[in-house]
Amino acid sequence: MPGCSDTNDWIHERLLEIEGHKVNGDTLPFKIIETKDAGFLAKVKGLYAYISFYHMPWKYYSINSWTAIAPSLTGKTFFCKIHKVDKDHKAILLNGEFPQFRKAELTTGEEYTGLIIEITGSGLIIDIGSHFDWKYGSLTGFLHASKLADNRKTSDFNSGQKITVLYQEAHENGQLIFCADRERMDWQMGIPQGLVGQTMWAKVTRQPGSKKVEILVRGRYKSKLIVDKQTTTTQHKKKIKKLKNELADGDLINCGVTGFDKKGRTLMVDWSIDLDDDSFYENSISNNLDSDTRDVLSNLKRQDLKRSD
């Protein structure tokens, strides 16, 4: 067949070239093409090759973990050394078991998107290497079930599923620790505690038909309305109670943050601040509220002033 001999000659030359790289211990780039039973079909120097999971640049405890991330590795390039060349069968085996990645700098409280590689009874094992397109290799960490957001359980997730987590810390053994609960993470970092002494906007949440009102500072941090018994008049207390009962789900109000309960992750707030206090609006602007939110706050200010007349 015309051209067949030329193709065979080209393949033979490449195999000899690759064999030379093996002898010299050279490092070569390889590209993952598709997943096989226990490894990947790859290409090196234009020829198909094979690299097993056990010879990849990082390790997992189980093949299931490789199966979970395999789709995200297709088309990615890593580096290898030639493990074996079989010219008769035109087979090439690769070995990527050597350091080839820079260390990633993770920021506490920063969000990273990862892939769930294992689900245990106590939590999820997550690899955020995909967040960096694998340029830092594997970055595996643990998300304890108690740190899942919105009362979710480990049974709500599947292996291979994408998940957004917050980086919390690294243990002495190097294991990364993740959190999926932004509020919990913020309390650990001292962000809500830093609001004490400031006038903040808060969002009201209330279930239809319920008398229970929850006030979330910055729309996120649970708070408890405190009325100073010594300095607040009975008339003012009644006014506060009346206004609280009139609040609807989604309303925005202004509150002065007076303290916090770290264990209960609750801010103490005072709703007795004058609505004409310009510091409230200055704080609103400094906290990067959008113009629509500031308009809502201005409307609420006018409404409350009318109620007090």
pTM: 0.76
**Is residue 266 included in any domain, yes or no?**
yes
- Distance separating alpha carbons of residues 170 and 178, to the nearest angstrom: 9
Name the residue type at position 96: G
**Is residue 102 included in any domain, yes or no?**
no
> Where among 37, 62, 95 does a domain terminate?
95
Q: 132: domain CATH number?
A: 2.40.50.140
Supply the pLDDT for residue 229: 59
**Is residue 199 included in any domain, yes or no?**
yes
Supply the pLDDT for residue 275: 43
> Does 200 lie in the same domain as 183?
no
Higher model confidence: residue 194 or residue 210?
Answer: 194
- Of all residues in the chain, the percent with pLDDT exceeding 70 is 82
**Is residue 101 included in any domain, yes or no?**
no
Q: What are phi and psi of 232, to 5 degrees?
A: -95, 130
Structure token pair of residue 299:
């409307």
- The number of CA neighbours under 13 Å toward the Cβ of 174 is 5
**Is residue 104 included in any domain, yes or no?**
no
* Contact residues for 45 (Cβ-Cβ < 8 A; gap 6+): 14, 17, 18, 21, 28
Mean pLDDT across 10-37: 93
Supply the pLDDT for residue 305: 56
E strands in the chain: 28-35, 39-44, 47-52, 77-86, 91-95, 111-119, 123-127, 140-144, 162-170, 176-179, 199-205, 214-217, 221-225, 252-261, 266-270
- Distance separating alpha carbons of residues 13 and 4, to the nearest angstrom: 14
Mean pLDDT across 254-278: 78
Number of domains in the chain: 3
Higher model confidence: residue 19 or residue 7?
Answer: 19
Range of the domain at 237: 192-308
> Does 17 lie in the same domain as 77?
yes
Average pLDDT, the chain: 85
- Angstrom CA distances, 115 to 33, 37, 158, 210, stand at 20, 20, 10, 40
- Distance separating alpha carbons of residues 275 and 113, to the nearest angstrom: 41
Mean pLDDT across 257-275: 82
- Distance separating alpha carbons of residues 204 and 9, to the nearest angstrom: 76
pLDDT band at 255 (very low <50, low <70, confident <90, very high): confident
pLDDT in tens, 72-119: 999 999 999 999 999 888 899 999 999 999 999 999 999 999 999 999
Question: Is the Cβ–Cβ distance between 177 and 109 less than 8 Å?
Answer: no
> Where among 187, 220, 254 does a domain terminate?
187
> Does 282 lie in the same domain as 175?
no
